[in-house]
Amino acid sequence: MTTIIDCDCHNYWMSAEVLLPYMDGIFKDFFIRGEQPGPVGAFPHGHRPWLHPEGFKRADINPATQEEHYSLMKEKHLDRYNIDYAILTGDEALEASTLANPYYAAALVRAYNDWMVDYWLPKDSRFKGSLVISPTDPHGAAAEIRRLGGHPDIVQVLASHGAQRPYGDPFYHPIYEACAEMGLPFAIHLGGQGGVNSNPIGAGPTTFFWETHALLPQSAMTHVASMIAQGVFEKWPDLYFVVIECGVAWVPSLLWRLDANYKALRKETPWLKMLPSEYFKRNIRFTTQPLEQPGTKVEHLWAILEAMDGENTLLFASDYPHWDYDSVESLHIPPQWRDSILGGNALKVYSRLPQPKTLAKTA
C-alpha cells in the first residue's frame, strides 16, 4: 500500500493573537501595542508588493473558528485522500523573515513554534511539525533549532525562500550546523518576499500577481546554486535541503548550467568534490506542488522530471488549503514513480517518520 506523505500542509490561525500566551517582555508589548500591518490579530511582517486579487485559500475552505481549521483539513484533505502524514508548514509565521528587527522576528517564530507544538501536533497523529526560523539572526535561529529540534514530532527546519542573501552564504551556516546536530533537514518554502527581502524577482519588481507567482522560483534557483557552490553539502554531507513550492521543471536546466560552468572553473571552489548535479541528487529534494502543467503533452514534463531523477528527488506536496492545491489523485507524474514520490522519498528525508511497517491509518 502506498504511503502518502504531504510535505506542504498549511496549519492556519484565525488570528495571530494565538501567539500571545507564548510571548513575554518587550516583544509581547511590541506585539500588543506596537504597529501592525493590519487590524488586530495581523502578524507583524513586511508585506510583499504583489497582492493576490482573490486571496490565497481555496474558496471551498472557509473555517469560521480556529477549531474548524483542523476539522475541515481532516475532512477535505487528510481523510479524503488517505494521507498518512502531513508535514505542517505553518503559514504567516514564515514572514517573520521580512522584518528588519531580527530579535522581534525570533520572538515571533519562537511563539509560533510553541503554539504549533501545543495546539496542532497533539490534534492528529498524522501531523508532523516544521520548526520555523527567521534566518535574519542565524545564531538565534540555531538556538531555536536546539531548543525545540529534539521534539520527536518535529521533522524539519523551515525558512522563507525570500531572503536577504543566497542561503549558501557562510552567514547562514550556524543554522546548518544546528540542523546537522539535531538531524533535521533544512527546508525553504515560497514566501517572505517583502520587507528586508527586497529582491525576490531579478530585473526588478513585476506588476501582476499571476505573472509574479510564475517567476518566484528565481530565488530558489539562486539558493540551490549557492548551497552547492558554497560547500554546504561538503561541510554537512548528510544534510537534506528541501525546496518547497518553487516549481521543478527548471531544475535540470540549472543543473546542466552549473555542471558546465563548474567543469571550466572548478578552481573557484576547491572545497567541492563532486559535480553540482551530484550534490543535488544526494542532498536536495523538491516538493511537487505546484507541478508544472505542460498543456497537452505530459511527456514533455516527464522527460524533464526524468532529467532531474525525479523518481528519487521529488516529494509529494498538496499546499492545502491554497488556491493552487494539488490533490493526490490528480498529480500528473509517471505511474511507476507514485510510491516513491507520494511517500517513499519523504521517508528517507524525514528520518523521524515511522517507517511503513509501523504505519497505521488514523482516519
DSSP annotation of 231: T
Cross-strand partners of 187: 158, 242
Query: Cell triple for residue 151?
Result: 521534539
Provide the minimum distance between the beta carbon of 271 and another protein in the complex, in angstroms, as a whole number.
Answer: 6
Residue with Cβ nearer another protein (263 or 361): 263
Provide the minimum distance between the beta carbon of 221 and another protein in the complex, in angstroms, as a whole number.
Answer: 22
Provide the minimum distance between the beta carbon of 269 and another protein in the complex, in angstroms, as a whole number.
Answer: 8
Q: Is 80 in the site for another protein (CB under 8 A)?
A: no
CB 210 within 8 A of CB 179: no
Q: Is 257 in the site for another protein (CB under 8 A)?
A: no
Q: Is 40 in the site for another protein (CB under 8 A)?
A: no
Distance CA 227, CA 249 (A): 19
Residue with Cβ nearer another protein (203 or 265): 265
Residues binding another protein: number (CB under 8 A):
14
Residue with Cβ nearer another protein (272 or 314): 272
H-state helical runs in 230-309: 232-235, 251-265, 276-283, 298-307
CB 194 within 8 A of CB 46: yes
Query: Vertex 104, ends 102 and 107: CA angle to 5°?
Result: 110
Residue with Cβ nearer another protein (220 or 228): 228
Handedness of CA 200, 203, 207, 208 (dihedral sign): negative
x/- letters, 272..311, toward another protein (CB under 8 A): -x-x------------------------------------
Element (H, E) at 217: helix 217-229
Scanning 84-92, 125-133, 239-247, 263-271 for contacts with another protein by CB under 8 A, the matching segment is 263-271
Provide the minimum distance between the beta carbon of 236 and another protein in the complex, in angstroms, as a whole number.
Answer: 12
Using CA atoms, how far residue 119 sits from 65, 69, 127, in Å, is 14, 12, 11
Cross-strand partners of 128: 87
Task: Determine which residue in the list 43, 112, 167, 262 makes contact with another protein, applying CB under 8 A.
Answer: 262
Task: Determine which residue in the list 138, 149, 231, 310 makes contact with another protein, applying CB under 8 A.
Answer: 231
Say how many Å lie between the first and final Cα of the chain, rounded.
16
Q: Is 238 in the site for another protein (CB under 8 A)?
A: no
Instruction: Return the residues of window 115-174 that contact another protein according to CB under 8 A.
Output: 170
Q: Which residues contact 50 (CB under 8 A, 6 or more apart)?
A: 193, 205, 206, 208, 209, 212, 213
Residue with Cβ nearer another protein (68 or 259): 259
Q: 187-221 burial, b for 16+ CB within 10 Å, e for fewer?
A: bbbbbbbbbbbebbbeeeebeeeeebbeebbbbbb
Provide the minimum distance between the beta carbon of 155 and another protein in the complex, in angstroms, as a whole number.
Answer: 29
DSSP annotation of 355: P
Residue with Cβ nearer another protein (25 or 271): 271
CB 122 within 8 A of CB 152: no
Q: Is 67 in the site for another protein (CB under 8 A)?
A: no
Distance CA 228, CA 90 (A): 27
Task: Determine which residue in the list 139, 263, 300, 361 makes contact with another protein, applying CB under 8 A.
Answer: 263
Residue with Cβ nearer another protein (104 or 279): 279
Task: Determine which residue in the list 271, 336, 357, 360 makes contact with another protein, applying CB under 8 A.
Answer: 271
Task: Determine which residue in the list 181, 234, 292, 309 makes contact with another protein, applying CB under 8 A.
Answer: 234
Q: Phi and psi at residue 221, in whole multiples of 5°?
A: -60, -45
x/- letters, 173..212, toward another protein (CB under 8 A): ----------------------------------------
Residue with Cβ nearer another protein (272 or 305): 272
Q: Footprint of another protein on this chain (CB under 8 A)?
A: 170, 231, 234, 262-268, 270-271, 273, 275
